[in-house]
Amino acid sequence: TDSPQSAQSPINSVDASSAELPQTERDQLVALFNAGRHAEMEAQARLACERYPTSGFAWKGLGAALQMQGKDALAALQRATELLPADADTHNNLGNALRDLGQLEVALASYTKALEMEPSFADAYYNLGNVLQDLGRLDGAVASYRRALEIKPDFAAAHSNLGVALKDCGLLDDAAASCRRALEIKPDFADAHNNLGNVLKDLGLLDDALASYRRALESDPGYTKALGNLLFIHNYLADQPAARLLAEARRFGELVARQARPYTAWRNTPEPDRCLRVGLVSGDFRNHPVGYFLESLLAALASNASAQLELIAYSNHARGDALTERLKASCHGWHSVAGLSDASLAQQIRDDGIDILIDLAGHTAYNRLPLFAWKPAPVQAS
């Protein structure tokens, strides 16, 4: 249910049309990328783009450096694809940038273009599977992951994410086998331990699921998804000491706070007579108990308090249904945010001028709890 991480293409292959960038500078960018020195690489790539503005390699390098730092790389990679229209790696990386911005259909087109140019591009098939999973097109996601694995059988991330897609299809035993195969290839793979935990939870093997989440956290102590899942599964386990639950909840808060860049000022005007703008964040604005609980409440607020409240929904699920449409009718604004990064969503909520932001998911599936550490609204509740 959590959006899987994209596979980033390296920058050491490029179309010959970038020959105007000296080979020594190209080699330096590649060396910085391989060494993980992405801030230095960004600075050097910016200089290269200024001196060689028609070098596709320079723009590709800038885009890669920005992506590896979690920054917006869209403009750089769009320019790179203009200059390198036949470079599959660049289209793949552009797809990743678009997916981070929640532009899932456009990202899908970029991955498809990369595969038209390089039909045996395993990473692009993997990324295509990820975005199809984001869109709820599970059969397509399964097929894409399987194609990636035909090309690259030891692709641990593809095995792990195939497990997620199979779980969402209800094929739990097959899902567990895929996650375990990922762990055979990469025993310390935190994502695969977490994904296996989710499958085991759905199989009712709660103690085994708890152990998988703990192994994920041993592999990656900063893994907020696994810690959130661990907190959630405590609801179903007896005899959990309250002190441990509190300590783990505080640990989760500390982790997400360290990974956020919280806002400290907002554009909301303190006018007592204006409408309050209330944002609702959930992945359950659909045929789900939360959706049904909300239906009459939102309808009542829309009919009786529309002069005092504006309801803005942020839906973290790619699929909708008839209930989704009824809920939309009770809201003043509606945004589909599945696949959108926390940074981008926080900026959108702040730009929307939300006064009160309410989480409706807790640690359940499709939640956006880490977003709240960014403090995009002056008042927040969960």
Give pLDDT tens digits along the chain (382 positions).
456 667 766 665 544 444 478 999 999 999 999 999 999 999 999 999 999 999 999 999 999 999 988 888 999 999 999 999 999 999 999 999 999 888 899 999 999 999 999 999 999 999 999 999 988 899 999 999 999 999 999 999 999 999 999 999 999 999 999 999 999 999 999 999 999 999 999 999 999 999 999 999 999 999 999 999 999 998 888 888 889 889 999 999 999 999 999 999 998 888 888 899 999 999 999 999 999 999 999 999 988 887 889 999 999 988 889 999 999 999 999 999 987 889 989 999 999 999 999 999 999 989 999 999 999 999 999 9
User: Residue 381: beta bridge partners?
Assistant: 358
Say if CB 226 and CB 217 are below 8 A apart: yes
**Torsion over CA of 34, 35, 36 and 38, rounded to 10 degrees?**
-90
Would you state the pLDDT for residue 16?
44
101: which DSSP letter? B
Amino acid occupying residue 362: G
Which single residue is written with the structure tokens 């403090």? 375
Please provide residue 353's backbone torsions phi and psi, each rounded to the nearest 5 degrees.
Answer: 70, 35
Cα–Cα dist 104/38, whole Å: 26
Measured CA to CA, the distance from residue 334 to residue 327 in angstroms comes to 10
Burial of 146 (0-12, 13-18, 19+ CB in 10 A): middle
Q: Give the three-class secondary structure for 314.
A: strand
For residue 68, how many other CB atoms are within 10 A of its CB? 17
pLDDT at res. 72: 87
Closest alpha carbon to 18 in 45, 53, 67, 70: 53
Domains of the chain: 16-153 (1.25.40.10), 276-381 (3.40.50.11380)
Nearest to 233 by CA among 217, 257, 254, 256: 217
Task: Determine the Cα–Cα distance for residues 146 and 290; give it in Å rounded to an integer.
Answer: 34
In whole angstroms, give the CA distance from residue 77 to residue 81. 6
Contacting residues for 256 by C-beta, under 8 A, at least 6 apart: 224, 369, 370, 372, 373
> What does the pLDDT read at residue 4?
66
Give yes or no for a contact between 377 and 357, defined as CB atoms under 8 angstroms apart. yes
Q: Measuring CA to CA, which residue among 23, 14, 27 is closest to residue 81?
A: 14
Helix residue spans in 19-171 (DSSP H): 23-34, 38-51, 56-68, 74-83, 88-100, 104-117, 122-134, 138-151, 156-168
Chain mean position to CA 70: 11
CA distance from start to end of the chain: 20
Is the Cβ–Cβ distance between 275 and 310 less than 8 Å?
A: yes
Look up residue 324 and give its amino acid: T
pLDDT of residue 303: 87
Kind and range of the H or E run holding 257: helix 242-258
pLDDT of residue 2: 54
